[in-house]
Amino acid sequence: MKRVVVLISGGGRNLQALLDAGADGRLDAQIVAVISNRDGVQGLERARRAGVAALALPHVDFPSREAFDAALAEAIEAQRPDIVVMAGFMRVVGAAFVRRFQGRMLNIHPSLLPRHPGLKTHQKVLEAGEREHGATVHFVTEELDGGPLIIQGQFSVMPQDSAESLAERVMQDIELKIYPQAVAWLARGDVELVDGGVRFGGRPLSAPLGMDHLEAQFR
């Protein structure tokens, strides 16, 4: 079984979806530890309830960004991970950290990347008057929210939508489905990062996969 470490900062709804998928056998992988850069968050409770090692590594305890990155990398490596999953992890990590895990580290971002990297994506979609919105799972590279795209889910923005209603729909209808699917693909070797591009079933992807590629168990 592939060993997975999940990085969080808060609520852990994506983490919960991954824990559930791990528990019911939909992931050919085992979540061996959850690490948060903030203590006392619900995501750590979710890990404990699932019997998974839950570790707080508060970034505020470190004198520099580099020192935190190094400590985090050590804490991750101690778990002998095959895969690292950022799930609501709200820290920007440095190039040295990324290089240690590149090709086996994923992130989920609540926008249709490459549109709207960074924060406040739901607000930006409304302000831009865009008619579609969604979420994306990508490999983590040195470019923030800029790594090669694996899977993307989208829906139509409704006139009455607010940033809150969009955030809820992105989470419930898309994130909680595409993330377990993406981790399952990576664990099985169906998805790979090769020469800076994503291969699915050995074939280079020219665009991210869509919700139509979701296996029944993740719909």
Residue among 6, 7, 87, 105 that touches ligand GRF (CB under 6 A): 87
Number of amino acids touching ligand GRF (CB under 6 A) = 14
Nearer to ligand GRF, 59 or 109 (CB): 109
Distance CA 159, CA 144 (A): 30
| Residue number, 96 or 119, with CB nearest to ligand GRF | 119
Asked if 171 interacts with ligand GRF (CB under 6 A), we say yes
Active site residue 109: yes
CA nearest to 81, candidates 28, 3, 193 = 3
CA distance 156 to 132: 4
Options 46, 175, 182, 185; binder of ligand GRF; rule CB under 6 A = 175
- 3-class SS shares of the chain: helix, strand, coil, % to 5: 35, 25, 40
Minimal distance, residue 8 CB to ligand GRF, in Å: 6
Residue 123 or 199: which CB sits closer to ligand GRF?
A: 123
Alpha-carbon Rg for the chain in angstroms: 16
Instruction: Give the Cα separation of 151 and 170 in Å (integer).
Output: 14
Interface with ligand GRF includes 153 (CB under 6 A)?
A: no
Q: Six-digit token pair at 217?
A: 């168990």
Say whether residue 112 binds ligand GRF (CB under 6 A).
Answer: no
Q: Return the residues of window 91-110 that contact ligand GRF according to CB under 6 A.
A: 108-110
Determine if 161 is a binding residue for ligand GRF (CB under 6 A): no
Report the residue from 10, 94, 103, 148 that binds ligand GRF according to the rule CB under 6 A.
10
Are 138 and 209 within 8 A, CB to CB?
no
Pair of tokens at residue 70: 């190094």
Among 19, 35, 52, 88, binds ligand GRF (CB under 6 A): 88
Cβ of residue 194: shortest distance to ligand GRF, in angstroms? 25
Per rule CB under 6 A, is residue 13 in the interface with ligand GRF? yes
DSSP string, 137-172: EEE--SSTT-SPEEEEEEEEPPTT--HHHHHHHIII
Q: Which residues contact 91 (CB under 8 A, 6 or more apart)?
A: 9, 37, 59, 68
CB-wise, 11 or 146, nearer to ligand GRF? 11
Task: List, by residue number, the catalytic residues.
Answer: 109
Q: Which parts of this chain interact with ligand GRF (CB under 6 A)? A: 8, 10-14, 43, 87-88, 108-110, 171, 175
